[in-house]
Amino acid sequence: MIKQWNYQSPTQEQILKRDELAEALGFSPALCLLLTQRGITTVEDAHKFLNPSLRDLHNPFLMKDMDKAVNRLEKALGNKEKILIYGDYDVDGTTAVSLVYKFLEQNSWKSNLDYYIPDRYDEGYGISNKGIDYAAETGVSLIISLDCGIKAVEKIAYAKTLGIDFIVCDHHMPGDELPDAVAILDPKRSDCTYPYADLSGCGVGFKFMQAFAMSNAIEFSKLRSLLDLVVVSIAADIVPLTGENRIMAAHGLRQLNLSPSNGMKGIINVCGLSGKEITMSDIVFKIGPRINASGRMMNGKDSVDLLLSKEEDDAKEKSENINQYNEDRRELDKKTTDEANLLLENNPEILDRKIIVVFNPEWHKGVIGIVASRLTEKYYKPAIVLTRSSNGFISGSARSVTGFDIYKAIETNKDILENFGGHTFAAGLTLKEERLDEFINLLESFADENMIEEQMTQTLDIDVSLNFKEISPRLISDLKKMNPFGPENQKPIFCSFNVKDFGTSKLVGRELEHIKLEMIDDSSEQIMQGIAFGMSRFSDHIKSMKPFDICYTLEENTYNGNTTIQLTIKDIRTN
- The model's pLDDT over 30-81, given as tens digits with 9 standing for 90+, comes to 999 999 999 999 999 999 999 999 999 999 999 999 999 999 999 999 999 9
Residue 548 to residue 571: CA distance in whole angstroms: 11
* Cis check: omega of the bond before 484, within 30 degrees of 0: yes
**Domains 60-224 and 347-456 belong to one CATH topology:** no
Q: What percent of the chain has pLDDT over 90?
A: 83
Confidence of residue 109 (pLDDT cuts 50, 70, 90): confident
Other Cβ atoms less than 10 A from the Cβ of 416: the count is 12
Q: What is the pLDDT of residues 414-451, one digit of tens each?
A: 999 988 888 888 889 999 999 999 999 999 999 999 98
Residue 257 to residue 83: CA distance in whole angstroms: 32
Q: Taking residues 77-86, report their average pLDDT.
A: 95
Return mean pLDDT, the chain.
93
Q: Taking residues 398-406, report their average pLDDT.
A: 91
Residue 99 to residue 110: CA distance in whole angstroms: 13
Q: What is the pLDDT of residue 397?
A: 94
Three-state secondary structure call for residue 568: strand
Residue 559 φ then ψ, to 5°: -145, 125
Q: What is the pLDDT of residues 501-520, one digit of tens each?
A: 999 999 999 999 999 999 99
Confidence of residue 392 (pLDDT cuts 50, 70, 90): confident
User: Which architecture does CATH list for 60-224?
Assistant: Alpha-Beta Complex (3.90)
**Single-letter residue type at 344:** L
How far is CA 185 from its chain centroid?
Answer: 21
Q: Taking residues 447-476, report their average pLDDT.
A: 90
Enumerate residues 6+ apart whose C-beta is below 8 A from 71: none
pTM of the model: 0.88
Confidence of residue 108 (pLDDT cuts 50, 70, 90): low
Q: What is the pLDDT of residue 1?
A: 65
Residue 222 φ then ψ, to 5°: -70, -20
- From residue 86, alpha-carbon distances to 126, 370, 464 in Å are 9, 24, 45
pLDDT above 80: residue 191: yes
H or E segment at 96? helix 91-106
Q: Taking residues 284-313, report their average pLDDT.
A: 89
- From residue 9, alpha-carbon distances to 14, 57, 275, 404 in Å are 10, 35, 40, 27
517 DSSP β-pair partners: 530
Q: Taking residues 557-574, report their average pLDDT.
A: 89
Q: 368-379 and 312-346 helices cross at what angle (nearest 10)?
A: 50
Domain residue ranges of the chain, discontinuous segments joined by +: 4-50+460-574, 60-224, 347-456
Q: 227-236 and 288-297 helices cross at what angle (nearest 10)?
A: 80
Q: What is the pLDDT of residues 147-178, one digit of tens each?
A: 999 999 999 999 999 999 999 999 998 988 99
Q: What is the pLDDT of residue 466?
A: 95
State the first-to-last Cα distance of the chain, in angstroms, to the nearest integer.
17
Going 34 to 255 to 296 to 431, the CA torsion angle's sign is: negative
CATH class (in words) of the domain with range 347-456: alpha beta
pLDDT above 80: residue 390: no
Going 360 to 362 to 364 to 365, the CA torsion angle's sign is: positive
Q: What is the pLDDT of residues 212-250, one digit of tens each?
A: 999 999 999 999 999 999 999 999 988 999 999 999 999
Instruction: Judge contact between 310 and 331, C-beta under 8 A.
Output: no
Confidence of residue 457 (pLDDT cuts 50, 70, 90): confident
Q: What is the pLDDT of residue 124?
A: 77
Strands 426-432 and 459-462: unpaired
How far is CA 490 from its chain centroid?
Answer: 13
Q: What is the pLDDT of residue 422?
A: 80
H or E segment at 302? helix 301-307
pLDDT above 80: residue 489: yes
Residue closest to 378 by CA, chosen among 462, 493, 284, 458: 458
Is the domain 4-50+460-574 a CATH 3.40.50.720 member?
A: no
Enumerate residues 6+ apart whose C-beta is below 8 A from 103: 209, 213, 222, 223, 226
With 0-12 / 13-18 / 19 or more C-beta atoms within 10 angstroms meaning exposed / middle / buried, residue 190 is exposed
pLDDT above 70: residue 320: yes
Q: Taking residues 351-366, report their average pLDDT.
A: 93
Instruction: Judge contact between 184 and 168, C-beta under 8 A.
Output: yes
pLDDT above 70: residue 574: yes
Residue closest to 316 by CA, chosen among 306, 308, 305, 304: 306
Confidence of residue 302 (pLDDT cuts 50, 70, 90): very high
Instruction: Judge contact between 167 and 138, C-beta under 8 A.
Output: no
